[in-house]
């Protein structure tokens, strides 16, 4: 399992880290971190099946030539992602992070990602990020 880093290492970025499966709750959990200029924030994200997040990024990478409208992924608690292709060759990913339900604070950060190899790397990292399920 590896972390997923989206954005520039020395600039605006979002990092997904510490993914784990909670067998008692049946939830995948992870931490999302936001780095933007003088801002650092993080939140705990819960979702029933984290592989759906990997599917989301794989769909974006597969459609690197573009699509119409907005594609959305929502965790339910902690993280929402919207993707648009606002110019040829680039996807704009909008991350909205909050601390809980109901949110007492939230942060929205847009990151432009190259639609080809950079998006494919994010998709590969997201698939590797999914905790293995053993029965």
pLDDT of residue 102: 64
Range list of H helices, 81-116? none
Quick one: CATH architecture of 4-129? Roll (2.30)
Q: Which parts of the chain sit beneath pLDDT 70? A: 1, 21-27, 48, 101-103, 132-135
Q: For the chain, which residues make up each domain, given as ranges?
A: 4-129
How far does Cα 22 stand from its chain's mean position? 19
The answer to whether 107 and 96 are in contact (CB under 8 A) is yes
pLDDT of residue 26: 63
Residues 6+ apart with CB under 8 A from 121: none
Report the alpha-carbon distance of residue 17 to residue 103 in Å, rounded: 21
- Tell me the whole-structure pTM to 2 decimals: 0.88
């Amino acid at each position: 399992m590896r972390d997923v880093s989206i954005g520039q290492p020395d600039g605006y970025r979002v990092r997904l880290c510490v993914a784990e499966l909670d067998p008692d709750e049946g939830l995948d959990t992870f931490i999302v971190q936001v780095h933007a200029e003088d801002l650092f924030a993080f939140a705990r994200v819960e979702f029933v099946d984290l592989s759906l997040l990997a599917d989301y990024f794989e769909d974006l990478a597969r459609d690197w030539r573009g699509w119409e409208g907005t594609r959305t992924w929502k965790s339910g608690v902690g993280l929402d992602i919207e993707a648009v292709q606002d110019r040829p060759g680039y996807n704009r990913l909008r991350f909205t992070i909050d601390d809980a339900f109901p949110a007492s604070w939230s942060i929205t950060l847009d990151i432009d990602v190259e639609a080809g190899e950079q998006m494919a790397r994010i998709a590969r990292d997201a698939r590797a990020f999914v905790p293995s399920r053993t029965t």
